[in-house]
């Protein structure tokens, strides 16, 4: 090779890196390619596993029979019913008691043929007395007693709903205070008695006063829903040993 050619080649190769650096760079690139391929293979394997799991779950749900959810339309569910529906007599009496901030509940023995009884408590749970209700048949009429004359009959008051009634206030004994109303529905003679007795033995006139006033007892007794809350076959006409004993007796005519 001539001296001129040698000089030309030396100038052309003057900017090239040493051969040793080029070899190392080739190996580094090859190593990066191997790692990249390994990551790709691992990722593909994970994706394949996930797809197999999902496919197996889908086949299980579709092909295997499962428990079907019960239809709520075919199941009868008992619903709580208000006391006004279960006991129409109580629904009439509850209104004035609720207004006073007190509570009225059935008192055992709660009822019999032709009668009901309820206990009244104040907001603190202290007993306030007893309310007793009874129905009678008096189609031929009714003598409403006069307290001052047991042989006389009182002239009744009348309501637009077709009741005749009398109110009685026996509160002179502070340990036995009673408000009572006797009401008769004229059209059929169906008669109802409402007696409210204050808690006995308190020794205090205020604590022993009846849980219903005579006006409240009259409003309840002349409410058609009260007498209609009893069955047609229910009555306390004598003999009726299980019926309540009233301060003022009921005397149906005939």
Over residues 16-66, the pLDDT tens digits come to: 555 555 556 666 666 677 777 777 776 777 787 777 777 777 666 656 655
Asked if 169 and 204 sit in the same domain, the reply is yes
Angle (CA) 54-59-60 rounded to 5° is 100
55 belongs to a structural domain? yes
Note whether 104 and 230 are same-domain residues: yes
More confident residue, 239 or 43: 239
245, 132 contact by CB (below 8 A): no
User: Residue 144 has which token pair?
Assistant: 């409403």
Q: Which residue range is the domain that position 246 belongs to?
A: 83-252
Same domain for 140 and 48: no
CA distance 50 to 56: 10
Kindly tell me if the per-residue pLDDT of 76 is higher than 50.
no
Residue 78 lies in a domain: no
Asked if pLDDT for residue 70 goes beyond 50, the answer is no
In a domain, residue 73? The reply is no
Give the three-state DSSP class for 171: coil
174 plus 55 within the same structural domain = no
Looking at the structure, do residues 52 and 92 belong to the same domain, yes or no?
no
Contacts with 226 (C-beta within 8 Å, 6 or more apart), sequence order: 88, 89, 92, 93, 133, 192, 194, 220
pTM above 0.75, yes or no: no
d(CA 225, CA 222): 9
Average pLDDT over the chain, rounded to an integer: 83
pLDDT at 200: 92
Report pLDDT for 85: 52
Bridge partners, residue 116, by sequence: 111, 133
The residues near 192 (Cβ < 8 Å, ≥ 6 apart) are: 133, 134, 135, 136, 182, 183, 221, 226, 227, 230
**Can you give the pLDDT at residue 80?**
40
Give me the mean pLDDT over the 7-15 stretch: 62
Residue 78 is classified by DSSP as P
Let me know if residue 233 belongs to a domain: yes
Does 196 fall in a domain? yes
Residues 94 and 180 in one domain: yes
Domain contains 14: yes
- % of the chain exceeding 90 in pLDDT: 55
Q: What is the pLDDT of residues 163-176, one digit of tens each?
A: 999 999 999 998 89
Specify if 235 maps to a domain: yes
Does residue 59 sit in the same domain as residue 100?
no
The verdict on 40 and 89 lying in the same domain is no
My answer on whether 231 and 176 are in the same domain is yes
Backbone angles phi, psi at 40, to 5 degrees: -65, -40
47 and 146 belong to one structural domain: no
State how many domains the chain has: 2
pLDDT tens across 83-132, in order? 445 799 999 999 999 999 999 999 999 999 999 999 999 999 999 999 99
- 127 in the same domain as 31: no
Question: Are 144 and 106 in a shared domain?
Answer: yes
Taking the C-alpha atoms of residue 68 and residue 66, their distance in angstroms, rounded to an integer, is: 6
Predicted confidence band of residue 150 (pLDDT cuts 50, 70, 90): confident
User: Has residue 246 been placed in a domain?
Assistant: yes
Residue 243 and residue 134 in contact, taking contact as beta carbons nearer than 8 Å? yes
């Amino acid at each position: 090779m001539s001296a001129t050619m040698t000089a030309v080649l030396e100038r052309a190769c003057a900017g090239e890196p040493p051969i040793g650096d080029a070899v190392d760079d080739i190996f580094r690139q090859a190593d990066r390619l191997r790692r990249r391929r390994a990551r790709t293979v691992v990722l593909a394997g994970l994706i394949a596993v996930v797809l197999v799991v999902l496919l197996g779950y889908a086949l299980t749900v579709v092909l295997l029979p499962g428990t079907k959810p019960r239809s709520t339309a075919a199941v009868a569910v008992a619903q709580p019913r208000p006391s006004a529906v279960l006991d129409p007599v109580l629904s009439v009496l509850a209104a004035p008691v609720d207004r006073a901030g007190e509570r009225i509940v059935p008192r055992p023995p709660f009822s019999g043929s032709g009668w009901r009884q309820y206990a009244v408590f104040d907001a603190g749970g202290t007993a306030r007395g007893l309310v007793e209700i009874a129905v009678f048949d008096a189609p031929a009429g009714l003598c409403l007693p006069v307290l001052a004359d047991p042989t006389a009959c009182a002239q009744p008051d009348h309501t637009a709903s077709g009741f005749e009634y009398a109110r009685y206030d026996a509160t002179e004994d502070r340990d036995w205070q009673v408000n009572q109303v006797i009401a008769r529905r004229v059209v059929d003679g169906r008669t109802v008695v409402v007696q409210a007795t204050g808690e006995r033995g308190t020794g205090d006139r205020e604590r022993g006063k009846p849980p219903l006033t005579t006006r409240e007892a009259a409003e309840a007794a002349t409410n058609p829903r009260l007498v209609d809350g009893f069955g047609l076959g229910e009555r306390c006409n004598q003999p009726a040993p299980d019926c309540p004993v009233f301060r003022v007796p009921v005397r149906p005519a005939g």
